[in-house]
Amino acid sequence: MSLVQSLLSTERYGIKCPYQMEPEGVCIHNTANDASAKNEIAYMKSNDNQVSFHIAVDDKEAIQAIPFNRNAWHAGDGGRGTGNRRYIAVEICYSKSVGERFVQAEQRAAREVAAILKGYGWGVERVKAHRDFSAKNCPHRTDMDKFKTMVQEELNKLNGASNPVNTSAGNLYRVRLSWSDAGSQKGAFSDLNNAKKCADDNAGYKVFDKNGQQVYPEQISNNIIGEGAKVRVVGNKYATGQDVPGWVKNETYTVQQVSGNKALLKEIVSWVYINDLALVSASAAPKVTIEVGSKVKVTGSNYATGQAIPGWVKNNTYTVMQLSDNKALLKEIMSWVYIKDLILM
């Protein structure tokens, strides 16, 4: 920000800022007079009182007199007080007569304080009032709650300019067992590849985009769970977020309508995420038979051996090499999979 430096001579450190400081926050004051920031700073630097502050702000400028790694005598909490030894002191000018220039000074101070917070990586909770450290009615004009809100708004602007946190947070890829089971979440990633890796490392986990659409493993069920399909509910939540009762999971339902990643089940008149459905029969599709030589995709969670099927396996198409009872041997991965867990391509 436009912080003007008018630093105190080091010869005056003994009176005004004798100690090194690791700042912990910012302490807000009102000057209770009608002097400009320039005059306020000049007076502080020239007198021999053990009274000092780091910054004075008026409607035109913010001026720094003491480096932030030196203490200042401003908080009235003694030689070892937290305010005097750990806080950056900011004086807001023109608080005696107030009016428009005081309003402007407060606004400018909010910007300067936000810049300090940003510089140290602090939140607005680091902003304190003089009266938080000692029994003085200071700042006598500035409403601290309102001022902190102003600082937060300025901080949001600064963060928004360099790091659009809010935007990217909305675009995270989440790794869960199912979209409705938020409690199962293993992680949230802005990079899809990292999310896929997390899903691969955790058997049964899938990657969902911000809308709850499964993006990995590549979703096959969307194509086959269509209107008229017979399904069972395997997830724990309805699309509304309500729990699915146990008895519901024992029945087979008819998909009446599909909308995005959700399906309306006719018999219970309830919307369920498609990811939380298991296909019993795709009645709309022609009856197909898996035979040796068929090209298939894998939809199940486990191999016939019981081992978990990694996510990447589900993205590829395989050739059935051999059939045995209810199992098929897939040539490319030389693995036995239950036929019910295969779909014909």
Q: Which residues bind Zn ion (CB under 5 A)?
A: 29, 130, 138
Report the alpha-carbon distance of residue 36 to residue 251 in Å, rounded: 78
Q: Would you call 262 exposed, middle or buried from its count of C-beta atoms within 10 A (0-12, 13-18, 19+)?
A: buried
Nearer to Zn ion, 45 or 340 (CB): 45
Nearer to Zn ion, 28 or 150 (CB): 28
Please answer whether residues 259 and 239 qualify as being in contact, where contact means their C-beta atoms are separated by less than 8 angstroms: no
Please report which helix (H) or strand (E) contains residue 14, including its range: helix 13-16
Nearer to Zn ion, 83 or 217 (CB): 83
Q: Identify residue 131 by its one-letter amino acid code.
A: R
Q: How far is the CB of 51 from Zn ion (least distance, A)?
A: 10
Beta bridge partners of 343: 297
Q: How far is the CB of 29 from Zn ion (least distance, A)?
A: 3
DSSP state of 183: G
Nearer to Zn ion, 73 or 179 (CB): 73
Q: How far is the CB of 56 from Zn ion (least distance, A)?
A: 12
Q: How far is the CB of 146 from Zn ion (least distance, A)?
A: 17
Q: How far is the CB of 104 from Zn ion (least distance, A)?
A: 20
Q: How far is the CB of 26 from Zn ion (least distance, A)?
A: 12
Tokens (6 digits) for 336: 């036995």
Tokens (6 digits) for 273: 């995420």
Nearer to Zn ion, 138 or 265 (CB): 138
Nearer to Zn ion, 56 or 244 (CB): 56
Contacts for 263 with CB less than 8 Å, ≥ 6 apart: 225, 231, 255, 257, 271, 272, 273, 274, 277
